[in-house]
Amino acid sequence: MQQYFTDRELKKDDIFELDQDSLYHLIKVLRKDSSYRFRVADCQGKIYFCHLINNYQCKVDEYCDENNELDTDITCIISLIKSDKLELCIQKTVELGVKRIVPFAARRSVVKFNDEKKLIRLKKIVKEAAEQSHRNIVPEVCNVAKLKDLEKYKSSSNYICYESEKNIVDIPASDSITYIIGPEGGFEDNEYEQICSMGFESVSLGNRILRAETAAIYMTSIIVGKCQ
């Protein structure tokens, strides 16, 4: 069943409008009419079954008592990598349950991220991934962070995934977890040391060297397996 999001709070029998992109997808792409029921998650993270009553309005049929969010709030700090890989990484980590995405301009990041349109595109990818995976909320996409900014994204437990580390990751349950993934080429030594000094525990994802996007997806999967 298709799902969409709305910025307003809903209740049974409400009549409301979806955003134009969602309406276009529902009516023009999927070619649905008033007989089709779909899901809408409101600004409170509550999900409702709805149907179209015309080409621009919807009606709430009933509440769906369903929570698809993890018990652990996960923040993924992903170093800037090539656009297609970054988009894949963000899409898959959102599907797995990440709650906040922080693009990070690491020293060895070869990609520059100065265009507001790129951030808008990432937010669209996040929203679509949240719809596809029936999330209750749309995860947050933060502005590009620099090294000095990372401390403000810390959680109860904090990790930096480092290819030279020997300590294989073993994550205990926690109410919130932040992890950092390096760029293509890895962290500079001084950069790595500064991040560790902020209180990020250095962990290994195994003996094999993973691409940045693979590392983020794998780390998220480990957390989900331990903490959901």
pLDDT at residue 36 in the model: 94
Give the chain's length: 228
Give the pTM. Answer: 0.92
pLDDT at residue 132 in the model: 96
Which residues of the chain have a pLDDT value below 70? 228
Question: 134-172 burial, b if ≥16 CB within 10 A, otherwise e?
Answer: bbbebbebbebbeeeebeebbbebbbbbbeeeeeebebe
pLDDT at residue 228 in the model: 64
Amino acid at 1: M
pLDDT at residue 145 in the model: 94
Q: CB–CB of 155/176 below 8 Å?
A: yes
- Determine how many CB atoms are found less than 10 A away from the CB of residue 199: 12
Q: For the residues of 38-97, what is the DSSP string, one character each?
A: EEEE-TTS-EEEEEESSSS-EEEEEEE----S-SSEEEEEEE---HHHHHHHHHHHHHHT
pLDDT at residue 190 in the model: 95
Residue 92, token pair as written in the block:
């898959």
For the chain, what is the largest distance between any 2 Cα atoms, rounded to a whole number of angstroms? Answer: 60
> What phi and psi, each to the nearest 5 degrees, are found at residue 113?
-135, 70
pLDDT at residue 72 in the model: 95
Q: Domains in the chain, please, with CATH?
A: 3-64 (2.40.240.20), 73-227 (3.40.1280.10)
